Structure 1
């Protein structure tokens, strides 16, 4: 900013910075000297300069909100749709996944069930869809079935059942990973059902499991609870069955091959 600015303009500049700070538009206040210099150099109109200044504040605010949503979501990896190699997993319906990534299923509180053996990419796809929802401005929370059951059990012991139910009912999208991988505690199936019931027809849930839908009764040891849970989950749902090669093992093999090539290249 020019050192020859008239005193009255300098005073006006300080007042403007003060106004921006008072309104907590701190990024705009910090950018003000740069924008004013650019406005003079490029002979911007007042409207253009003001739009550019406020754009800086809007972008900074959106970045902070995104960061906050990502912290709350607790996603295990920063995967996006571009990271998933559909060619490496022919068992995945790419067209269906890309349709789900539009997030239209959130509009009518539909669910997504990713079903298949270990290693085929279920968790990665769940994270991909969850990240799309976070980027779109939705509140998302990721947990495993075992963690959810443990939190509910602890809340019940501490007389916080209502609060934990409100917590799991809150996110626009709840991801429950690894259902069936570990046995749920005695009241785990009941807790999971109550979470699903709280969200029924209100918010969407993505669930990954290695247990085929026909085997849920045996997996949970309670046919009534399993049937009630499936009834709510499947009422509005996309079921993505994955019956292909291990995506995870192929990824590890590719990584090992690259390392081996690198070592061989250096040795040569």
Structure 2
């Protein structure tokens, strides 16, 4: 089938969603019975969906999540790890990000803290929220290098401008003086302007000692903890549980 001139125009205008829908409708005999309004409505709907998908994919690429495939539909509420289903589903509405509140997820290694955080982040990307994911050890390394080569202001802006900032793997190493100052600047800049999610193997009561200097610790924790939702997980490592289930499955 030769391309219809309209199809060429749609492609030239980069209306890819409309072009795909136009080609599909051309190939359907039933489409001949559609009114002009129905044709136009189908084309516009496809273009809107196509553009939203592209924006979502761009937000996901920019976020650089550790678990790209983590999604809310796959959350396991049956696992014995103390996950409050009602609270988590409330977080999935994104209201906490709109209200610029924080989220703290704590628990032992392997219980799914980072995965759950990434599932919430994917939901946020679907809702049009800009997300930045950083592992805290790596973030401090980046900031230290940026101080030395003059990139700190630009890097700092790129981190703090995200509507949702994920700081993964807090602790257990005690912060240096430079790290304390950098963290203080981050939380101060974001306070009341954006949401921050922190995951950690350490309970919140241990964070004061990790920060080290009491004045900094009080100031940092006041800006992080007081308006934060908390998910406190427990139990055995999910990775070990899944591996055990795989081992117990009959071999074919």
Aligned to 1:45, which of 35, 46, 53? 35
Deviates more, 1:23-32 or 1:128-137: 23-32
CA contact under 8 A between 1:27 and 1:57: conserved in structure 2?
A: yes
C-alpha distance in structure 1 between counterparts of 2:127 and 2:109, whole Å: 29
Counterpart position of 2:124: 133
Q: Structure 1, unaligned stretches of length 5 or more?
A: 4-9
Partners of 1:106 and 1:203 within 8 A in 2: yes
Please report the TM-score for the alignment, with normalisation by the length of structure 2: 0.90
The equivalences for 1:57-76 within 5 A come to 57-76=47-66
Q: State how far apart, in whole Å, the 2-side matches of 1:31 and 1:83 are.
A: 31
Q: How far, CA to CA, are the matches of 1:39 and 1:49 in structure 2? A: 13
Q: Secondary structure at the match of 2:78?
A: helix
Q: Deviations over 1:113-152 (max 9, x none)?
A: 0122222221121111111111222111111111111111
TM-score (norm 1): 0.85
Q: How does 1:81-100 map to 2 (within 5 A)?
A: 81-100=72-91
Alpha-carbon shift at residue 19 of structure 1 (Å): 4.1
Please say which of residues 144-153 and 21-30 is displaced more in the overlay.
21-30
CA distance in 2, matches of 1:170, 1:235: 21
Residues 113 and 239 of structure 1 are in contact (CA less than 8 Å); yes or no, is this contact kept in structure 2?
yes
Q: Which runs of 5+ in 2 are unaligned?
A: none
Residue 39 of structure 1 contacts residue 49 of structure 1 at CA under 8 Å; is this kept in 2?
no
Alignment match of 2:184 (pick from 176, 183, 193): 193
Distance 1:26 1:120, change over 3 A: closer
Residues 1-268 of structure 1 mapped to structure 2, 5 A cutoff: 14=5, 16-17=6-7, 19-38=9-28, 41-77=31-67, 78-182=69-173, 184=175, 186-258=177-249, 261-262=250-251, 266=252
Distance apart, 1:23 and its partner CA? 3.0
Contact 2:174 2:209 in 1 (8 A): no
Deviation for aligned residue 1:81: 2.1
* 1:41–1:115 Cα change, 3 Å: closer
Instruction: Give the Å deviation of 1:46.
Output: 0.1
Q: Distance in 1 between matches of 2:200 and 2:190?
A: 19
**C-alpha distance in 1 between matches for 2:54 and 2:73:** 23
Cα RMSD after superposing both structures: 2.2
Using the TM superposition, name which of 35-44 and 248-257 deviates more: 35-44
Q: 2:104 aligns to what SS in structure 1?
A: strand
Moved more, 204-213 or 53-62: 53-62
Bigger Rg, structure 1 or 2: 1
